[in-house]
């Protein structure tokens, strides 16, 4: 593998545009120029060296979003150490399992400490920020390989037990480049960042694209629909890019202060991390907002993306687009043979934006990768004649009814076309006659009272009869991960136990 030096865009822009605004932390109303951000990162290096942190050590953090999380990550990367952001929504036993897995030297948090493994010290994250302010910058560490692990991100657990994905600085660079090209990011870009930083969107996709271009990232403590609506329309900030999961975009449109006419500089709402039905894309386009869906995962960062052309977005609604420039994608059958256009196949990804493996789990890498280095995503995609890829479903979510493959994402998209449906999640459940049939969990749109018979007739007009759910369950909420994805394994378990 061709080696290269770990990238450091903050150090670069501290020289190219030292006085330019690098970031704003909304929780403390504090701003950094690129010169100031570079200095604080180097002061954080000094703090970490005083704590005895060295190359390869893990440092975990359990905290809400802040610029100091970015400072910590960048400082650890300069040292050749590893940043481990943890999901603060997890229970103490769950956090204890992750800490026992990654065995950090330090856990920074201002929350109550979970059980700490041997050799791990608990420390105040607020105290870390204060120590950075008081420190003198350390000498610049020697450069190291861009293929070294710099972040461990625990997967969101939609399929069960989280595992630690090993992100390199090559991964961070490739994700930034892919998004910058697909998302038309320039030096004047302003990103609003409120996705949680224990997620790949939060610590990579919403930070590295503006940082690579010398743009600005604005960090909020977390997503709140009404405040985010106001922030997107803040006249002094001029937000140009906002990345969220579709459920967050849905919350924006249902907030009482929703007014996209105020979003005067916003290029697009960029979505990923969960299926985004075509009806949803078209609704946003009708409001004058480009909703640009893409595809990626913890293991591959930004992989596919749609162009910003409103005409193409409408024509290709439901697609997740084309590869970024540092990525290749294949669609294959069960014997790893490439499938023709129009035929569903598993998505395989290759490139600098692919993780090196999983922490402490070499068997998972062997299972997840082909012999020649392509990662198996477990997602089923379909490519059209123009090369645009749509995600049909997760392979594990597909079920077989009467000998026919049923992809729940297609059924969910049909349900979302009904005005009375705000959201839907479909799973396969056992059936004596057909083997499996669909069960749809439906959240009603405000002011509506959908009926199962009506939804069944609606689906029959859009999809084949064998795909239409045989059961409809009306719910007020769905079980979700910290990043907003529906945890279908919980729905399946509840269905079996019922």
At 146-190, the pLDDT tens digits run 899 999 999 854 444 679 999 999 999 999 999 999 999 999 999
**C-alpha 330 chain-centroid distance:** 21
Residues 6+ apart with CB under 8 A from 30: 24, 67
Q: Mean pLDDT, to the nearest integer, of 33-42?
A: 98
CA distance linking residue 79 with residue 43, whole number of Å: 12
Q: Mean pLDDT, to the nearest integer, of 314-332?
A: 96
Q: Which two tokens stand for residue 447?
A: 């002011």
Question: How much is the pTM?
Answer: 0.84
Q: Which of 336, 354, 389 is the last residue of a domain?
A: 389
pLDDT digits (tens, 9 = 90+) for 116-125: 999 999 999 9
Domain match, 357 and 458 both: no
pLDDT > 70: what percent of the chain? Answer: 98
pLDDT > 90: what percent of the chain? Answer: 76
User: What backbone phi and psi angles, to 5 degrees, belong to 414?
Assistant: -65, -45
Looking at per-residue pLDDT, the higher value among 33 and 494 belongs to 33
pLDDT digits (tens, 9 = 90+) for 276-311: 889 999 999 999 999 999 999 899 999 999 999 999
Q: Is residue 220 part of a domain?
A: yes
Residue 408 lies in domain: 398-497
Predicted local distance difference test score (pLDDT) of residue 482 = 67
Q: Which of 389, 407, 436 is the last residue of a domain?
A: 389
Burial 191-202 (b: 16+ CB within 10 A, else e): bbbbbbbbbbbb
Q: Is residue 15 part of a domain?
A: no
Neighbour count for residue 246 (Cβ, 10 Å): 23
For the residues of 235-273, what is the DSSP string, one character each? Answer: TTT---EEEE-HHHHHHHHHSTT--GGG-TT--EEEE-S
Q: Is residue 268 part of a domain?
A: yes
Predicted local distance difference test score (pLDDT) of residue 434 = 84
Count of residues in the chain: 498
Helix, strand, or coil (residue 134)? helix
Predicted local distance difference test score (pLDDT) of residue 162 = 75
Predicted local distance difference test score (pLDDT) of residue 2 = 54
- Rounded to 10 degrees, the C-alpha dihedral 63/65/69/74 comes to 150
Predicted local distance difference test score (pLDDT) of residue 293 = 96
Q: Is residue 19 part of a domain?
A: no
Q: How many CA atoms lie within 13 A of 138 on its CB side?
A: 18
Predicted local distance difference test score (pLDDT) of residue 158 = 44
CATH (domain of 217): 3.40.50.12780
Q: Is residue 8 part of a domain?
A: no
Domain match, 79 and 228 both: yes
Closest among 89, 87, 123, 126 to 108, alpha carbons compared: 123
Q: Is residue 410 part of a domain?
A: yes
CA distance linking residue 214 with residue 125, whole number of Å: 27
* Residue 55: pLDDT band with limits 50, 70, 90: very high
* Residue 483: pLDDT band with limits 50, 70, 90: low
Predicted local distance difference test score (pLDDT) of residue 275 = 77
When the pLDDT of each residue in the chain is averaged and rounded to a whole number, the result is: 93
């Amino acid at each position: 593998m061709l080696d290269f030096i770990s990238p450091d865009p903050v150090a670069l822009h501290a020289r190219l545009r030292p006085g330019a605004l690098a970031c704003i932390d909304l929780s403390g109303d504090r701003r950094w120029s690129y010169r100031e951000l570079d200095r604080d990162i180097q002061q954080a290096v000094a703090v970490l060296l005083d704590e005895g942190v060295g190359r390869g050590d893990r440092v975990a953090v359990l905290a809400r979003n802040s610029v100091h999380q970015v400072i910590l990550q960048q400082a650890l990367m300069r040292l050749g150490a590893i940043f481990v952001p943890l999901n603060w929504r997890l229970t103490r036993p769950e956090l204890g399992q992750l800490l026992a897995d990654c065995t950090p030297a330090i856990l920074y948090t201002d929350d109550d400490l979970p059980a700490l493994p041997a050799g791990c010290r608990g420390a105040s994250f607020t105290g870390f920020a204060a120590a950075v302010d008081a420190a003198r910058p350390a000498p610049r560490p020697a450069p190291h390989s861009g293929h070294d692990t710099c972040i461990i991100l625990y997967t969101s657990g939609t399929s069960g037990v989280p595992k630690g994905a090993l992100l390199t600085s090559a991964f961070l660079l490739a994700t930034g480049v892919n998004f910058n090209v697909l998302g038309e990011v320039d030096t004047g870009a302003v990103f609003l960042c409120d996705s949680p930083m224990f997620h790949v969107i939060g610590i990579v996709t919403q930070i590295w694209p503006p940082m690579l271009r010398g743009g600005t990232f604005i960090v909020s403590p977390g997503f709140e629909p009404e405040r985010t609506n106001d922030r997107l329309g803040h006249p002094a900030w001029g937000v140009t890019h906002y990345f969220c999961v579709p459920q967050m975009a849905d919350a924006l449109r249902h907030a009482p202060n929703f007014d996209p006419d105020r979003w005067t500089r916003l290029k697009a709402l960029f979505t990923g991390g969960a299926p985004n039905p075509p009806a949803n894309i078209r609704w946003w386009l009708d409001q004058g907002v480009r909703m640009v869906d893409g595809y990626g995962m913890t293991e591959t960062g930004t992989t596919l993306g749609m162009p910003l052309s409103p005409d193409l977005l409408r024509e290709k609604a439901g697609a997740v687009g084309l590869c970024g420039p540092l990525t290749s994608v294949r669609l294959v059958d069960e014997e790893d043979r490439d499938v023709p256009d129009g035929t569903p196949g598993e998505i395989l990804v290759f490139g600098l934006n692919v993780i090196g493996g999983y922490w402490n789990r070499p068997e998972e890498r062997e299972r997840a990768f082909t012999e020649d280095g392509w990662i198996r995503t477990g997602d089923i995609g379909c490519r059209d004649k123009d090369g645009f890829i749509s995600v049909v479903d997760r392979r594990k979510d597909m079920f077989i009814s009467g000998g026919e493959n049923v992809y729940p994402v297609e059924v969910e998209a049909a349900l979302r076309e009904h005005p009375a449906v705000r959201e839907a999640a479909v799973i396969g459940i056992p059936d004596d006659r057909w083997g499996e049939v669909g069960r749809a969990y439906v959240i009603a749109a405000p002011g509506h009272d959908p009926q199962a018979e009506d939804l069944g007739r609606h689906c029959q007009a859009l999809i084949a009869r064998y795909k239409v759910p045989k059961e409809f369950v009306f719910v007020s909420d769905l079980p979700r991960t910290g990043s907003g994805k529906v945890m279908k394994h919980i729905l399946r378990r509840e269905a079996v136990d019922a």
